[in-house]
Structure 1
């Protein structure tokens, strides 16, 4: 009878099987993460809690934590790849001051401060250097996820935080080289090892970039010609993991290699399809990574030593925030942006688990010290959403006291290049800004509504109170260095004169304008606007197109018809002697399509 029962229901059959751990992870993620989202907490905190509950220090439902962590680290790899897709080498060149200025200063100053404190607490020099270098780093996965959840990646503080994280990822290379050498330290061996590592890393990066630019686009064209989604996705996985493995063999992190792969593909026409293909892998593995971090939190040890743990973690967070805030201000960020950057980067990072493991193997620090540092880093990660929430509240108060208007010495604007200036931040302008944010294009907005400006600044937007129709105001926001000016002003009557004046003042600046109707759009383009979009016409065209598609017309035919309407509705004038209400754009557009068909037939 017992044998028959086992044939019907035998839970022991799953024990020890890989599917058991997978099911545990999926159940925990499905139950806990949505609950935290519904309570308006960060999903990251939900994943951490789920990991702590099912981990070896919680309910003990997962046995192979190390094996799971190795798989979960691919979440960071795909995250960095996705970030690379949204950037470009040109954008990184623009950010070089923040990457190699603010980023380098943060790692050096924070590392030195923590190492100095460790020395006063009785650690040897080698151990103090490891602790300082390890705790100076922050969590790329945590910070990027928080920025994405809040739509702050393209804000001023978001770009500064990402630039600092990028340098931290680069700093992992010399740290991993130095740590084993500290077991038998000599100045000569450390300098030689460090020099070899830097040269090897530089050569590897140059070779990867050169080969990627030569080979990736042709390879993707071949894969696209096969017309198989599975093959195309497999190609993307090969690129991400292959370039990541190449950088890892060169002594760099796999995540940095994936970031390079993303940058290389971002310059191609395949970036959007690639981004869509890797999104499921990124989200699932990133959630798994956060859960493995939660598993490292020893709940028993944490509660039994809660006072000392909170004191150490609180001191670490306060020290890193203070240093970051001062450095951010020195590099031209406002008090609000500096506070937000400090809160975002106050925690320990995922590379701490790697560096501390190497340090224990090299006998630079004791295993019990490593375990204590694991707990400190994991706890600081868990507290990050709360810290950023409190910092955001304080930032609102600071922002109310700061001046919203432009000044000649505004350093935040002074370093911007290749940005988009947005004249007007109403509903239309906010939509344009969000589109720019989606591709990490920096935006500086101007608006004459003081309340709107104040609220947008609290949300992290680079926006000032000012009149976008005045050339002197536009100069203060770097119009000579901008890539485009978008005018969404409501004063339609004066808009053609404004465009004409701005075209004369900034002849190389493309001007995009919103117009009331097709007639005004034609006037604006004649005055010098690169493109003028009639808002009512575009809305009606999109709605009409949706109706035609629903009625069964082919999408390509509808697109052609809409393009013809757009052309005639925006640029054509009524024939001489004909009243405006007698000029039928439907007839004009249809006649245009007929002429195009006739030309195509004659060509054949």
Structure 2
């Protein structure tokens, strides 16, 4: 029996991984969100789709999943990784900085939307007050896993959506706790006491231990060690909260929060991104498996009416709240449509409510279908919101600024990077530095420099800094190959960005110009010019003529290097002259 289960589990895992391997590149090729693909694949290969024909056509058994419950463990892992990713986005500092919007705007959205849904459900006589309240709050949630990748955090829309989503994500834990207490009221006090104790221990351990562990991982330059520590943190935190009745999802969320408080959160986000993306895909496939075409066809009027009602009410509430807070009309409309659908958290609450006896099986199944349909529509609603925002207010999308807007980014913070940062400070210009040496980063931060740990050799890290919004990029790393590669890759995606790169010599500088650098500064040339300046002053030449001649010679040499680079190869596309 164990062997059969193991074989079935392996088969299901291979089907899911195969689906991910097909969906991601295929939908990316046509620039369609893979979210729709995962849900459609789940519907196709699940027990309500082709899986129902596996007994009649044995060859279908190899590419389908006949029992949805067999992949529930995969879905639960996906949910844990989703909550972990949400925790990484939160951080206590971000919550405190955004407390007005999170608890003000987010709280009002959750309260008003939940009340409207609850009142409507009771008015039509569908549910009693308690089930209606639980279902109303569940439907008020929006999908962090889908909304944030679609919106990002570089625009006003993304920042507004993030504030609302943070409150919704935070509300999940107390809501699940109350549902657990409903199924076992006598255990509530024990759960609360145990939960507070476990959370306190996790915060203390995370505060004093996680940074040291990640520091050791940073010194080894091992991404695998970063990943292992991150997964171990999620596992231990989930086991700890699950053991006292808070649920494993609370532990995953806390694990993300703890890592978000360290200086290594950017690196952890990058390294765990593929795993979290796969976890999202697995979860969405299980969502698709909840779509039973027979049920959809049989009950399509009710499902359509419920889905439209949820989308319209949520969109109108968010638009009204944002207009009340004097947001742009375009931003309000885009945010409203973007967040109109229910959430993956809605499914978690529905499952918990069903287990607690708050909702009946029929009610939970109906609203699970509504939620699955809404999740499928999220990318389409996001695209419609963007188009409407452009028509209503062309400036709405450009009004937001990323954390690096107008900032000079410095990749590499050795002796050269520090001097560049000192000059930025001297002239009161904002800068931000990234370096892959944790000891260098720690020493620089103690001295007051704005620098974080990160491996810029991985392209995903660079994407986090919104390079298109930066004032300039300075590459100071003592790695000629990496500097050329970064110059080429960044120029391809940011044709107007000023890129100033450190070069070892004239030949390396010529390579950098060909790769797309705006300016390349050879160390040998600058060293020679400084030596010339020093000796000329020492032998009695006036400072003014010396400085003028040095500037002229520098311009001459740069022109020669640039010309050599252009003669060797065509100039990089979009390079500024």
TM-score, reference length from structure 2: 0.66
Shift of 1:175: 2.0
Alignment correspondent of 1:523: none
Distance 1:227 1:536, change over 3 A: closer
Q: Is 2:39 aligned against 1:35?
A: no
Q: CA deviation at 1:227?
A: 6.5
CA distance in 2, matches of 1:62, 1:76: 20
Question: What is the CA distance between 1:28 and its match in structure 2?
Answer: 2.5
Displacement after TM superposition at 1:316 (Å): 0.8
Q: Quote how far apart the aligned CAs of 1:206 are.
A: 4.5
SS in 1 for 2:393: helix
Q: 1:199, CA displacement in angstroms?
A: 7.0
> How far off its partner does 1:281 sit?
1.4
In the alignment, what sits opposite 2:98? 95
Alignment of 1:553-592 (within 5 A): 562=522, 576=543, 577-578=545-546, 580=549, 584=553
CA distance in 2, matches of 1:50, 1:369: 25
Give the distance between the partners of 2:165 and 2:210, measured in 1 at CA: 27
8 Å contact 1:29–1:50 — kept in the other structure?
no
Report whether the alignment pairs 1:162 with 2:162.
Answer: yes
Correspondence for 1:333: 327
The answer as to whether partners of 2:506 and 2:525 remain within 8 angstroms in 1 is no
Is residue 335–residue 385 contact of structure 2 (8 Å, CA) maintained in 1? no
CA distance in 2, matches of 1:227, 1:514: 27
- Aligned residue number for residue 116 of structure 1: 119
Secondary structure of the corresponding residue to residue 24 of structure 1 = helix
Output the aligned Cα RMSD: 4.5
Q: Which residue of 2 aligns with 1:56?
A: 47
Q: 1:397 aligns to what? A: 391
* Conservation of the 8 A alpha-carbon contact between 2:172 and 2:345: yes
Total equivalences in the alignment: 450
The residue aligned with 2:144 is 140
SS in 1 for 2:50: coil
CA distance in 1 between counterparts of 2:507 and 2:224 reads: 33
CA drift at 1:118:
0.7
Whether the 8 Å contact between 1:126 and 1:182 is mirrored in structure 2 is no
Question: Does the CA contact (< 8 Å) of 1:136 and 1:348 recur in 2?
Answer: yes
> 1:169 touches 1:256 (CA, 8 Å); kept in 2?
no
Alpha-carbon distance between aligned partners in 1 of 2:305 and 2:37, rounded to the nearest angstrom: 24
For the pair 1:242 / 2:233, whether they are aligned, the reply is no
2:268 to 274, 277, 290: 274
2:371 to 356, 373, 377: 377
Residue in 2 that maps onto 1:292: 286
C-alpha distance in 1 between matches for 2:290 and 2:525: 61
CA–CA separation in structure 2 for the residues paired with 1:583 and 1:403: 44
Cα displacement string for residues 129-156 of structure 1 (whole angstroms, at most 9, x for unaligned residues): 2221221222222222323xxxx32322
Match of 2:109 among 90, 93, 106: 106
- C-alpha distance 178-164 of structure 1, shift in aligned 2 (>3 A): same
SS of the residue aligned with 1:40?
coil
- Cα shift readout 1:497-541 (whole Å, capped 9, x = no counterpart): xxxxxxxxxxxxxxx9779xxxxxxxxxxxxxxxxxxx9998574
**What CA distance in whole angstroms lies between the structure 1 residues aligned with 2:532 and 2:244?**
61
What residue is the counterpart of 1:65 in the other structure? 68
Q: Alpha carbons of 1:251 and 1:140: their partners in 2 closer, same or farther (altered >3 Å)?
A: farther
Contact 1:565 1:586 in 2 (8 A): no
Match of 2:9 among 11, 18, 34: 18
Deviation at 1:273, TM superposition (A): 4.2
Partner of 1:359: 353
Task: Provide closer, same or farther for how the CA distance between residues 298 and 564 of structure 1 changes in structure 2, counting only shifts above 3 A.
Answer: farther
Matched residue of 1:17: which SS?
Answer: helix
Q: Once the two structures are superposed, what CA deviation does each residue of 1:472-505 show, in whole Å capped at 9, x if it has no partner?
A: xxxxxxxxxxx9658xxxxxxxxxxxxxxxxxxx
CA-CA distance at 1:32 after TM superposition: 3.5
Q: Distance in 2 between matches of 1:212 and 1:571?
A: 51
Cα deviation for residue 34 of structure 1 reads: 3.0
C-alpha separation between the residues in 2 aligned to 1:543 and 1:254?
A: 51
Instruction: Report the Cα distance in structure 2 between the residues aligned to 1:198 and 1:137, rounded to whole angstroms.
Output: 24
Distance 1:273 1:401 in 2: 33
Partner of 1:348: helix, strand, or coil? coil
| Preserved contact between residue 156 and residue 331 of structure 2 (Cα < 8 Å) | yes
Gaps of 5+ in 2: 52-63, 412-427, 432-469, 474-494, 512-519, 538-542, 559-577
Q: 1:390 to 1:55 in 2, by over 3 A?
A: same
- Alignment-derived partner of residue 475 in structure 1: none
Q: Matches of residues 508-587 of structure 1 in structure 2 within 5 Å?
A: 539=499, 541=501, 548=508, 562=522, 576=543, 577-578=545-546, 580=549, 584=553
CA gap 1:385/1:276 in 2 versus in 1, 3 angstroms: closer
Change in Cα spacing, 1:421 to 1:403, as seen in structure 2 (3 Å) is closer
Cα displacement string for residues 69-126 of structure 1 (whole angstroms, at most 9, x for unaligned residues): 4323433443554565566543332111121111111111111111111111112222
Aligned to 2:179: 179
Distance 1:157 1:130, change over 3 A: same
